[in-house]
Structure 1
Amino acid sequence: MTARVFIDGEAGTTGLQIRERLAMRHDLELLSIPEESRKDAAARAEYLNKADVAILCLPDAAAKESVALIENDTTRVIDASSAHRVADGWAYGFAEMDADQADIIAAAMRVANPGCWPQGLIAAVRPLIAGGLLPSDYPLTFHGVSGYSGGGKGMIADYESADASANRFAPYALGFNHKHLPEMTEYTLAEAAPLFSPAVGNYYKGMLTVVPLNLAKLDKVPTGEQIHAALADHFASSAGGFVDVAPLEGLERSDELDPQALNETNRLRLHVFANDARAQAAIIAVYDNLGKGASGAAVQNLNLMLGVDQTTSLAA
């Protein structure tokens, strides 16, 4: 059976990437609204209601409007905006988050695609809190760098017009109220939002995130080996998933810690570094902010919802 898929917002950065990944699929019929009708609510409603799966690549308000335009009980939705990530009735689309998360996504009518930044934090922290290595009230700190494509069309235009004169490393969200904080808090299992300090680099895509851990004041201090084992065991249980854990090595630096190392793939790789004598560790995640961080995750979720191999159309 051919599934009808409508990408609402297909002209945006994420929408274009999803369409490119799906273009050669023979099990899908891609519905495409005429350019002149993309802002016509009635026309969008027609396409949304005849789709088997609608993928929303829209600002939050427009994504909520699209969901409201669906009048049937058959159109399933993947929302790539942040509008529904902590909303009741929506499955969170990070398939490797828990051992049963892929099954939850597969059965869901509504799936909220995760944000790019939250995935690095959730992958690093949730298994440790769930496994008792970190308490839920641990004061989390999270930072990293992403390519400028993560800022959408406006930021892409700004960086590409500035070219070599663009800021090479620009911290932002300095009011410490980033819109991803609710989903970070919800899905790490933490009691409070992290201190989150993101930055954008002068390159197109790819990201590296860091969770530093000062462990000395914990009642029971986990070792680097225990942290690494907990992460490796957790993601080994996600059969067919795209998250893996690099070997535990005592390195001062590594060429693998390049934010662009996994570009053009749907992979997220975790690295654990630790100094047990100082009771300090860091968990570093590398992934493509337009791959696993956006369009790749959406295609993975679509595959799960359609009952096909979740790696279809995705480079590992």
Structure 2
Amino acid sequence: MAKQPKVFIDGEAGTTGLQIRERLSDGIDVEVISIAPEKRKDAEARLDMMRAADVIILCLPDDAAREAVSLADNLGDNAPRIIDASSAHRTADDWTYGFAELVGGHADQIQNARRVTNPGCYPTGGIALIRPLVDAGLIPSDFGISVNAVSGYSGGGRSMIEAYEAGTAEPFELYGLGLSHKHVPELMRYSGLTRRPIFVPSVGNFRQGMLVSIPLHLDLLPGKPSLRDLELALTKHYDGSTIVSVVHEPLETVGQRIGAVALNGTDKIELFVFGSETQKQAVLLARLDNLGKGAAGAAVQNLKLMFGL
């Protein structure tokens, strides 16, 4: 019988850490080891935990995640495998991007990786929509793309969560309007785009859930694809996936509107193609739980792949 992997969640008291811990308690054959609360910032105590673990999951701010990786490096060949849920290493060449459905065979790369960087919640939706269409030749890599997204406030960290739960935050906000959001390089790199996309994130007064939408002028695309062409390319790419699904819902069924919270509490992502053939316009849409496939769910999925669970 294979050894039960030992997992150390560095930052388990935060939102993502708590979600990962909850998922790992649900019949997954791992042993979670924890550090005493008073020693969470004690480098030697954390090093002892890393020495005992088979894998560490970093649920830390970016700078703290980089420091944790440097600490693990002190163990040399005895260093544990790492899943980083921060954005510190998402475009680093020596890390494996933790989106198993990215391209064929990518799950195998995660399975064999020593260091996996978890995708961001917004890029998960954007990449899930764009990459298959770029690979299929329906969207040129240098095409101008705009990505609009709204998330529940739980993705904004402690201060945002406290502001919303205290009733002091705006009901709805756009942000990142300087167009330099840290998710853009990740979104560009893994979607296969060579032209920087415009990314406009926003946050609403609901705890979790996410919609990512991409408008397209179909007659500006070289092949002038139909809505059906886009839908078929996405369906082919995700054929057989138990996590990513393409939903074939006519506008009449959804009432020309769609909510953000239907997948809350799950690790799934739904993709839709809406639009008008008459107007030659489309809206690509991804729906997910920003704490599920957008964070903790992806980390646990990667952990399972890495240890064959």
Matched, 1:72 2:76: yes
Within 5 Å, which residues of 2 pair with 1:27-38?
A: 27-38=29-40
Whole-angstrom CA distance in 2 between matches of 1:255 and 1:39: 50
Matched, 1:83 2:88: yes
Residues 148 and 26 of structure 1: CA distance in aligned 2, closer, same or farther (over 3 Å): closer
Matched, 1:154 2:156: no
Report the equivalent of 1:311: none
Residues 218 and 26 of structure 1: CA distance in aligned 2, closer, same or farther (over 3 Å): closer
- Give secondary structure in 2 for the equivalent of 1:197: strand
Deviation at 1:28, TM superposition (A): 1.3
Report the equivalent of 2:181: 178
CA contact (8 A) 1:143 1:210 kept: yes
Whole-angstrom CA distance in 1 between matches of 2:289 and 2:144: 27
- Give secondary structure in 2 for the equivalent of 1:73: helix
Whole-angstrom CA distance in 2 between matches of 1:55 and 1:292: 16
Matched, 1:96 2:94: no
Whole-angstrom CA distance in 2 between matches of 1:26 and 1:199: 34
TM-score by length of 1: 0.92
Name whichever of 139-148 and 211-220 sits farther off. 211-220
- 1:224 partner letter: L
Whole-angstrom CA distance in 2 between matches of 1:26 and 1:112: 21
Report the equivalent of 1:312: none
Whole-angstrom CA distance in 2 between matches of 1:230 and 1:174: 32
- Give secondary structure in 2 for the equivalent of 1:2: coil
Report the equivalent of 2:47: 45
CA contact (8 A) 1:49 1:72 kept: no
Residues 257 and 250 of structure 1: CA distance in aligned 2, closer, same or farther (over 3 Å): closer
Matched, 1:141 2:143: no
- 1:281 partner letter: A
Deviation at 1:274, TM superposition (A): 2.5
Matched, 1:274 2:275: yes
- Give secondary structure in 1 for the equivalent of 2:99: coil
RMSD of the TM alignment (CA)? Answer: 1.5
Q: Deviations over 1:116-172 (max 9, x none)?
A: 00011101110001110010011010112100000011110011011xx64222111
- 1:221 partner letter: K
Matched, 1:110 2:115: yes
Whole-angstrom CA distance in 2 between matches of 1:228 and 1:291: 24
Report the equivalent of 1:213: 216
Identity of aligned residues (%): 50
Residues 279 and 53 of structure 1: CA distance in aligned 2, closer, same or farther (over 3 Å): same
Whole-angstrom CA distance in 2 between matches of 1:131 and 1:195: 22
Matched, 1:3 2:5: yes
CA contact (8 A) 1:263 1:291 kept: yes
Within 5 Å, which residues of 2 pair with 1:47-62?
A: 47-62=49-64
Q: Deviations over 1:30-72 (max 9, x none)?
A: 1100111111111111111221010000011111111111123
Report the equivalent of 1:307: 308
How many residues end up aligned between the 2 structures? 304
Whole-angstrom CA distance in 1 between matches of 2:236 and 2:81: 32
Within 5 Å, which residues of 2 pair with 1:114-263?
A: 114-162=119-167, 166-236=169-239, 239-251=240-252, 253-254=254-255, 257-263=258-264
Q: Deviations over 1:158-210 (max 9, x none)?
A: 11011xx6422211111111110110000010012211111100010001110
Whole-angstrom CA distance in 2 between matches of 1:177 and 1:73: 37
TM-score by length of 2: 0.95
- Give secondary structure in 2 for the equivalent of 1:211: strand
Deviation at 1:302, TM superposition (A): 0.4
Deviation at 1:255, TM superposition (A): 7.8
* Poorly superposed stretches of 4+, deviation over 6 Å: none
Whole-angstrom CA distance in 1 between matches of 2:146 and 2:77: 41
Q: Which runs of 5+ in 2 are unaligned?
A: none
Whole-angstrom CA distance in 1 between matches of 2:224 and 2:230: 10
Whole-angstrom CA distance in 2 between matches of 1:26 and 1:290: 18
- 2:64 partner letter: A
